[in-house]
Amino acid sequence: MAHATIPEAPATEDRFDRVATTTCGYCGVGCRLEARARGGRVVSIGPALDGPANEGHTCLKGRFAHGFTRSPDRLTTPLIRVDGVLRPASWEEALDLIVAELTRIKDAHGPDAIAGLASSRATNEDCYAMARLMRAAIGTNNIDNCSRVCHSPTSFALRKSFGLSGATGSFSDIDHAEVALLLGVNPTQGHPVVGARIKQAALRGCKLITIDPRRIELADYGAIHLSPRPGTNAAVVLGLCHVVHREGLLDADFIAERTEGWEAVEELLAGYDPAAVEEITGIPAADLEAAALLYGEAASGSLLWGLGVTEHKYGSEVVQLLCNLALMTGKVGKPGSALLPLRGQNNVQGSSDMGALPDTYTAYRSVEDEDVASLFEDAWGAPLSRTKGMKIPEMFDAAVAGELKAMYIFGEDVAQTDPDTAHVAAALESLEFLVCQEIFENETTKFADVVLPASAFLEKEGTFINAERRFQIVEPVIDPPGEARTDFEIIGEVARRLGHEFGWDSPWDALDEVARLTPEYAGVSRVRLGRTGLQWPVRPDGSDSPTLYDTVFDRPGGRGHFAALPYKAPGDAPDEEFPLVLVTGRILQHYNAGTMTRRTGNARLVDRDILEVHPVDAARLWVTDGDKVSVRSRVGRIEVEAKVTDRIEPGHVFTTFHFPETRTNLLVGQSSDVNTSCPEYKVIAVDVRPISEQPSFVPVLES
Ligand SMILES: Nc1nc2c(c(=O)[nH]1)N[C@H]1C(S)=C(S)[C@@H](COP(=O)(O)OP(=O)(O)OC[C@H]3O[C@@H](n4cnc5c(=O)[nH]c(N)nc54)[C@H](O)[C@@H]3O)O[C@H]1N2
Ligand SMILES: Nc1nc2c(c(=O)[nH]1)N[C@H]1C(S)=C(S)[C@@H](COP(=O)(O)OP(=O)(O)OC[C@H]3O[C@@H](n4cnc5c(=O)[nH]c(N)nc54)[C@H](O)[C@@H]3O)O[C@H]1N2
Ligand code: SF4
Ligand SMILES: [Mo]
């Protein structure tokens, strides 16, 4: 029988009027995407098959969550506050007002009365421009980015222990690791494509050790899961090191030839036998022993961590302890033995690498270093301050104290996502002038005097740097909506009107300038990045560095540094009044402030924040699935729906911060990492009560 021939698919150019290979703008995995548009709308996104981080995969955000770009809520004109209400204005009016107010405040109170935030969602070139605007056009080092509330402890610790602020290897090290130890990171939700890669590695025989107070999905694929009390990571890692040492699983040659400071750590470890660690962490001694043996005996092992490590009072110290574990076993700088902090936002690595920080220029060079400061002074033709600027929490304190008068917040929803919402709101209220540069109105724009409409990642060009230090190209597939402009254009225009010309025609000129002024990125250029990107350091000839420290560490003398740091109790501890520990974090379907994912089909999958409660606590509290509960901490109170689940340990509760109506961060206090001021989002003592008048279910208590 003759079969009808299947008609050929129409050619790509007939189906789409614009296609672009770009990089995902959600998380730090940095999946390469093929985006296709028709009639000014994105119609499909798929994986770029040669993307090195994603190897043909994406998650549901990268692939499907693009509908926000043409949401009717997008900002399409500048807004100016008149009589308390934000009203549409022309670009001329908005820019004139910004320049007049910033100039007035600078003349009256000096440049340090002004501060800016760069967006870790935006490109390197946007962030570099923002840092240059604050330093050269305003004259202050008051510039910071979202890394402050995320992985600043990782950056601090890696620089102390090894020298450079970045993962020591690549995601491909997971494929070569005999063991992967995951401390306080939940990749199947936060970094799903890496999560899938870890699952595949586990199915092929890589042994996973997961350490998390919640039974995360990867625990089901692993060899050992440990559930520590939140805030006790230091004791866990010291315990692992104790057993590795006791069992003689050290790499003595590596310690002798490539490290310094081991003796003090050896002495310290004596106090952390598994029984002592069980007391602090609640982890059964035998389980800790088994995990230590698994890691210690393996020929290769990688360490992955996330916010369950960093967002704590001693977060940076725990990262230093993880570096100790790698150094004492020689598991660093080799294939399969990488330290891979899973950096969060698409470009949080890059915004920091580009010097959008109060104390450093590009590649973490100090603003106090005379040679570095004069290098930029010559390049920019403007006098530059040698004094460190304020970190984000210091900005808010200074605003409340009346010392900081104006802020320019670019792509960060601090009123929803920063800790202690009441304090943030008080700070924003206290400012004389607030500019927000955004793609949507959000909780922060409610305080703004001027809102500038900007462009999302599918509408701009430049580069991002992913969690494995890879510069990758970003290309537009649609134009910004209405009168919205690219972030790069807006920042350049504000600087120009303040009297400082960047002299760039496009983001690629800014990238060339970064390469010229920064030895670590010397060989980066648009052409060399090509389709698959380059991992810094990139030498002048364009060769890059997938693995760091294969021969020397990047510290004076070239040795890795052991830090002798004991366990200390977390800042906020449960007591009779606040008996439960609240851990906050994220879920797969929504992204941080949720401004984007809440405006996509993902909102139909999950439409609210919920509080996870263990069945034992739920019974004691008379709470059943779906009940509204009140959650009270030492600083605030919220209402949220409860979900009863045994993924969480008794005594702990968990919620997310994706929906502004929940206001989760009202509960978070001022406690933060001792070295970097990263907030302690992960340990909040709370009291939980049902608020329905009639409990829908009265548990039968067994006698
Ligand atoms: N879908 C989605 N993906 C995202 C984001 C998002 O909002 N949604 N956000 C992005 C951003 S900005 C970031 S930084 C990353 C974050 O990604 P992750 O670092 O994975 O962040 P979290 O899920 O907040 O926390 C990780 C885990 O730490 C655990 N934890 C809490 N306290 C402790 C502790 O004391 N000890 C240990 N061992 N574990 C603890 C929590 O239970 C949680 O499972 O995700 C990025 N990707
Ligand atoms: N309770 C609790 N709070 C947390 C955390 C937690 O675990 N628990 N995690 C913290 C962490 S790790 C992080 S990183 C922060 C994240 O906090 P934020 O940085 O505030 O959140 P995001 O949703 O990533 O994006 C910020 C804003 O950027 C805008 N935006 C996106 N792309 C662009 C762009 O290209 N241009 C411009 N101009 N704007 C853009 C979005 O609309 C959004 O309003 O939240 C922190 N808050
Ligand atoms: S894993 Fe991260 S980078 Fe990849 S598609 Fe998902 S959100 Fe985007
Ligand atoms: Mo983050």
Is residue 306 within 8 Å of 186, Cβ to Cβ? yes
Q: Would the CB of 27 count as within 6 Å of ligand 3?
A: yes
- Cα–chain-centroid distance for residue 231? 19
Q: Could you give the CA distance from residue 30 to residue 72 in angstroms, rounded to a whole number?
A: 28
**Mean pLDDT over residues 300-307, rounded?**
98
Under DSSP, the state recorded for 590 is -
Q: Would the CB of 122 count as within 6 Å of ligand 2?
A: yes
Q: Could you give the CA distance from residue 221 to residue 162 in angstroms, rounded to a whole number?
A: 31
Q: How many CB atoms lie within 10 A of CB 498?
A: 17
Q: Could you give the CA distance from residue 247 to residue 146 in angstroms, rounded to a whole number?
A: 41
Radius of gyration of the chain from its Cα atoms, rounded to whole angstroms: 25
Q: How many CB atoms lie within 10 A of CB 472?
A: 29
Residue 663 gets the label, from left (phi > 0), alpha (psi -120 to 50) or beta, of left
Query: Of all protein residues, whose CA lies closest to atom 8 belonging to ligand 3?
Result: 62
- Note the pLDDT tens digit of each residue in 509-549: 999 999 999 999 999 999 999 999 999 999 999 999 999 99
**C-alpha of residue 146 to centroid of ligand 4, in Å:** 7
Cα angle for residues 134, 425, 684 (degrees, 5° grid): 105
Burial class (CB in 10 A: 0-12, 13-18, 19+), 58: buried
- Closest C-alpha to 353, from 490, 209, 166, 516: 166
Q: Would the CB of 306 count as within 6 Å of ligand 1?
A: yes
pLDDT at 697: 54
Q: Could you give the CA distance from residue 558 to residue 163 in angstroms, rounded to a whole number?
A: 9
**C-alpha of residue 351 to centroid of ligand 4, in Å:** 12
- Note the pLDDT tens digit of each residue in 134-192: 999 999 999 999 999 999 999 999 999 999 999 999 999 999 999 999 999 999 999 99
Q: Could you give the CA distance from residue 139 to residue 132 in angstroms, rounded to a whole number?
A: 9
Please give the helix or strand (H or E) that residue 584 lies within, else none.
strand 580-585
Q: Would the CB of 294 count as within 6 Å of ligand 1?
A: no
**C-alpha of residue 28 to centroid of ligand 2, in Å:** 13
List Cβ neighbours of 340 (8 Å cut-off, separation of 6 or more).
167, 168, 169, 171, 173, 174, 302, 303, 304, 467, 468
Query: Of all protein residues, whose CA lies closest to atom 14 belonging to ligand 1?
Result: 344
Confidence of residue 573 (pLDDT cuts 50, 70, 90): confident
Pocket-testing residue among 121, 186, 229, 287, ligand 1, by greatest number of atoms within 8 A of Cβ = 186
Query: Of all protein residues, whose CA lies closest to atom 32 belonging to ligand 1?
Result: 308
Tell whether the model's pLDDT for residue 349 goes beyond 50: yes
Q: How many CA atoms lie within 13 A of 147 on its CB side?
A: 35
Q: Could you give the CA distance from residue 559 to residue 264 in angstroms, rounded to a whole number?
A: 16
Confidence of residue 703 (pLDDT cuts 50, 70, 90): very low
Tell whether the model's pLDDT for residue 65 goes beyond 70: yes
Tell whether the model's pLDDT for residue 412 goes beyond 80: yes
Query: Of all protein residues, whose CA lies closest to atom 31 belonging to ligand 1?
Result: 308
State the average pLDDT for the chain: 96
Q: Could you give the CA distance from residue 538 to residue 607 in angstroms, rounded to a whole number?
A: 43
Is residue 457 within 8 Å of 121, Cβ to Cβ? yes
Q: Would the CB of 570 count as within 6 Å of ligand 1?
A: no
Query: Of all protein residues, whose CA lies closest to atom 4 belonging to ligand 2?
Result: 417
What one-letter code names the amino acid at 540? P
**C-alpha of residue 577 to centroid of ligand 4, in Å:** 31
What is the sign, positive or negative, of the torsion defined by CA atoms of 222, 224, 227, 228?
negative
- Note the pLDDT tens digit of each residue in 5-29: 888 877 766 789 999 999 999 999 9
- Note the pLDDT tens digit of each residue in 187-239: 999 999 999 999 999 999 999 999 999 999 999 999 999 999 999 999 999 99
Query: Of all protein residues, whose CA lies closest to atom 46 belonging to ligand 2?
Result: 417
| Residue 115 backbone phi and psi in degrees, to 5 | -140, 155
**C-alpha of residue 154 to centroid of ligand 1, in Å:** 14
Pocket-testing residue among 60, 208, 212, ligand 1, by greatest number of atoms within 8 A of Cβ = 212
**Mean pLDDT over residues 456-480, rounded?**
98
List Cβ neighbours of 149 (8 Å cut-off, separation of 6 or more).
311, 392, 417, 418, 419, 678, 679, 681
- Note the pLDDT tens digit of each residue in 632-655: 999 999 999 999 999 888 999 999
Q: Would the CB of 231 count as within 6 Å of ligand 1?
A: yes
- Cα–chain-centroid distance for residue 122? 13
**Mean pLDDT over residues 110-117, rounded?**
98
In SS3 terms, 195-245 reads as HHHHHHHHHCCCEEEEECCECCHHHHHCCEEECCCCCCHHHHHHHHHHHHH
**Mean pLDDT over residues 415-432, rounded?**
97
Q: Could you give the CA distance from residue 209 to residue 304 in angstroms, rounded to a whole number?
A: 10
Q: Could you give the CA distance from residue 144 to residue 116 in angstroms, rounded to a whole number?
A: 7
List Cβ neighbours of 280 (8 Å cut-off, separation of 6 or more).
229, 232, 235, 567
Question: Which ligand is closest to the CA of 304, given by its number?
Answer: 1
pLDDT at 699: 54
Query: Of all protein residues, whose CA lies closest to atom 12 belonging to ligand 2?
Result: 150
Query: Of all protein residues, whose CA lies closest to atom 30 belonging to ligand 1?
Result: 308
Strands (E), 119-226: 143-145, 179-183, 207-211, 224-226
Pocket-testing residue among 27, 325, 586, 602, ligand 1, by greatest number of atoms within 8 A of Cβ = 586
Residue whose pair of structure tokens reads 């959000």 in the numeric block: 442
Q: Could you give the CA distance from residue 573 to residue 619 in angstroms, rounded to a whole number?
A: 23
Q: Could you give the CA distance from residue 194 to residue 29 in angstroms, rounded to a whole number?
A: 7
Q: Could you give the CA distance from residue 391 to residue 370 in angstroms, rounded to a whole number?
A: 21
Q: Would the CB of 330 count as within 6 Å of ligand 1?
A: no
Tell whether the model's pLDDT for residue 342 goes beyond 70: yes
What one-letter code names the amino acid at 7? P
Q: How many angstroms separate the Cα of 168 from the Cα of each of 192, 201, 208?
A: 21, 19, 19
Q: Could you give the CA distance from residue 456 to residue 665 in angstroms, rounded to a whole number?
A: 25
Q: What does the buried/exposed string (b/e) look like for 653-676 if buried means 16 or more CB atoms within 10 Å of the residue's CB?
A: bbbbbbbbebbbbbbbbbbbbbbb
In SS3 terms, 419-461 reads as CCHHHHHHHHHHCCEEEEEECCCCCCHHHCCEEEECCCHHHCC
Q: Would the CB of 31 count as within 6 Å of ligand 3?
A: yes
**Mean pLDDT over residues 598-605, rounded?**
92
Query: In the chain, what are the domains?
Result: 4-70 (3.30.200.210), 79-147+354-535 (3.40.50.740), 152-341 (3.40.228.10), 580-690 (2.40.40.20)
pLDDT at 4: 77
- Note the pLDDT tens digit of each residue in 474-521: 999 999 999 999 999 999 999 999 999 999 999 999 999 999 999 999
| Residue 303 backbone phi and psi in degrees, to 5 | -115, 125
Three-state secondary-structure class, residue 307: helix
Q: How many CB atoms lie within 10 A of CB 195?
A: 24
| Gap between the terminal Cα atoms of the chain | 76
Question: Which ligand is closest to the CA of 678, given by its number?
Answer: 2
pLDDT at 128: 98
In terms of DSSP bridges, do strands 114-118 and 406-410 run parallel, antiparallel, or are they unpaired? parallel
Question: Which ligand is closest to the CA of 437, given by its number?
Answer: 2
